[in-house]
Amino acid sequence: MLLDCTDQTARVHIASLIKFIVQRLKVTDAAILHSVETITTTDDKGAVTSVEQPASLIARFIMKCLSLLNTQVAKSWSRFEQFLDIILTFGCGEEGKEDENLIGLEYLMSVKFVERVCDFILGKKSPLCMPNEKRIEMGGSFSQPNFTPLIKMLTKILTTQSLLDKFPLSELEKKMFLNAELLKILLSNQSGGKQFG
């Protein structure tokens, strides 16, 4: 709904409700946020299948959101700001009521958030993009995607030493973050570059 709805007012109100739920579930599920559970199912033929998934409902929701970045989110680049705000709320808390603790950011770092976000922003120019992989191009000659929520989280991550001590950036994440194309996008006004300067 957030990615398909063309009415910005509706997207803002729906996002507000989801952000409220995300914030509450993050605190409620804090103890099991990093836990994994195994689900075993049996099909009609008697074959048993086991699948691991996060034990926390909010962790499953956030993982689903992150899995959509290079597909549905990229396709809806002109109206994805409220969707990205939900991820920002999980990571940093609500605007004006930022989290004192780092529950959300620690979880995001444990699932390679910096790598996923840099890959998403870089699109076809990402080192993770395979030669024959098709990526949706975001932006056009008259408007560019607004990555402000993601930039706010990257800024928070890169300026929180205790977080970097616990989850040091991999060589790939450093390489992706220092990519000239990514830095150009991050520093542009449309993408919320004021976070960096």
- Closest C-alpha to 69, from 128, 131, 11, 141: 128
Burial of 16 (0-12, 13-18, 19+ CB in 10 A): middle
Cα atoms found within 13 Å of the Cα of residue 14, Cβ hemisphere only? 16
- pLDDT for 195 equals 52
Q: Is the pLDDT of residue 101 over 90?
A: no
User: Which string of b and e fits 21-56 if b means at least 16 CB within 10 Å?
Assistant: ebbebbeebbeebeeeeeeeeeeeeeeeeeeeebbb
Distance in angstroms (rounded) separating the CA atoms of residues 84 and 146: 9
pTM for the model stands at 0.87
Q: Is the pLDDT of residue 123 over 50?
A: yes
Q: Is the pLDDT of residue 132 over 80?
A: yes
- pLDDT for 91 equals 92
Q: Is the pLDDT of residue 189 over 60?
A: no
∠ at Cα 6 (2, 12), nearest 5°?
50
- pLDDT for 193 equals 47
39-57 tens-digit pLDDT: 998 888 888 899 999 999 9
**For the chain, domain boundaries:** 8-196
The residues, any chain, with a CB within 8 Å of residue 161's CB and separated by 6 or more, are none
Distance in angstroms (rounded) separating the CA atoms of residues 52 and 191: 36
State percent of the chain over pLDDT 90.
61
How much is the average pLDDT of 9-36? 93
Predicted confidence band at 97 (pLDDT cuts at 50, 70, 90)? low
- pLDDT for 98 equals 62
Q: Is the pLDDT of residue 94 over 80?
A: no
- pLDDT for 99 equals 64
How much is the average pLDDT of 164-188? 90
How much is the average pLDDT of 77-89? 93
